[in-house]
Amino acid sequence: MFSFEVIAKEGDGRVGRLVTPHGVIETPSFVPVGTLATVKAVTPEDLREIGNQVVMTNAFHLHLRLGEDLINRMGGLHRFMNWEGPLITDSGGFQIFSLGAGKEHGVGKMAPIFPDENDRGGHYGLGKKPLVKVDEHGVDFISYLDGSIHRFTPEGVIEIGRKLGTDIILVLDECTSPLHDFQYTKRAMERTHCWAQRALEAFERTSDGTQSLWGIVQGGAYKDLREESASFLSDKNFDGYAIGGSLGESKDDMHRVLDWTIPSLPEHRPRHLLGIGKVEDIFEVVRRGIDLFDCVAPTMMAHTGTFFTKESEGFQMHILNAQFKDDPRPVEEGCNCGTCRHYSRAYLRHLFLAKELLGIRLAAIHNLSFMESRMQEIRTAIKEGSFDTLSKTWNR
């Protein structure tokens, strides 16, 4: 029920076709993040109209908030959230990291990931007490909701994924931060490899062919570790591969990590870059052979009145700026999303000033549409051999 084929290439960039039981994903593809069985501020109907193909959910948060047994009784996650397309379940490795080393080092989705470029507020090295204990067999952690104690194991994450019924399950991994040294990063990588093997064995014992399991490459920003991790996992029978953990201290480091990692991954398997997907990132990661990537940025930034546009500085328009008070134009000329077809910049600014929730929804619809349009352009360009030309028009 699962298959992947590369149908066009330009350099290392590629167009693929990933077949799942709940539909086909044309790659490269941006994956909206629906952590708690919802992509923030938008409905599944909105996602279908936008053209989004697949949604990323999170085993860690769903386990704590609802419990996988409840979702299973509701008919599985697809029925529960009314999403008919493919679903990916992240293992929660990053969230567990956020409660542990992330707290100690001040690293997370809401804190800077690349300190060289983004650490303006001194977030790094905050030294908060971790809420996680990692051992060779799994992870104990304290719930951020009620203080209860939970344990995740590689086999337990497979069981959660089974009960949720998602198409793609990611293995439990141990993330590291840019502040971890070589020795700790190596130990975490080796633990991740052990967990991946155990997860694969548990998955194969119970597989009915309706789900796939993907390994996660770790190794921080160390060349030999990334190459070792990619080679180790490539020798296992995973259906696809994600690249996670620390990607270094800058975007240049991230590009080097991909350059080290991707050549060791199987050409005939899909590749997912975890947690990366801002506008300025997508062309560089696609150029290196990434097929899928997810990011909370389109919906998270929608909450602040930030709209993605090609012409704005940093590809971001801040609708609360006074210059848009009486601006009758859409957010972006030529954009065919529902927001741009029907609403002016002046009206959108009014919604955010009045703290009307409609503003957030319209911003999220536009930002997700913007990302999906870029992916459609990229797929077409690779097929036509014009990707390099297209990427230069977006290079700032």
What's the residue count for the chain?
396
Q: Is 355 left (phi over 0), alpha (psi -120 to 50) or beta?
A: left
What is the Cα gyration radius of the chain? 20
Q: Write the CA distances from 191 to 70, 95, 181, 186, integer angstroms.
A: 31, 17, 16, 9
Q: Write the CA distances from 80 to 21, 35, 322, integer angstroms.
A: 17, 14, 42
3-state DSSP: the chain helix, strand, coil percent, rounded to 5?
A: 45, 20, 40
Of the candidates 290, 199, 204, 302, which has an alpha carbon nearest to the alpha carbon of residue 247? 290
Q: Which two tokens stand for residue 246?
A: 């620390």
**Separation of alpha carbons 56 and 264, rounded Å:** 25
**Separation of alpha carbons 38 and 374, rounded Å:** 23
As annotated, the active-site residues are 90, 294
- Answer yes or no: are the C-beta atoms of 85 and 56 closer than 8 Å: no
Amino acid at site 183: Q
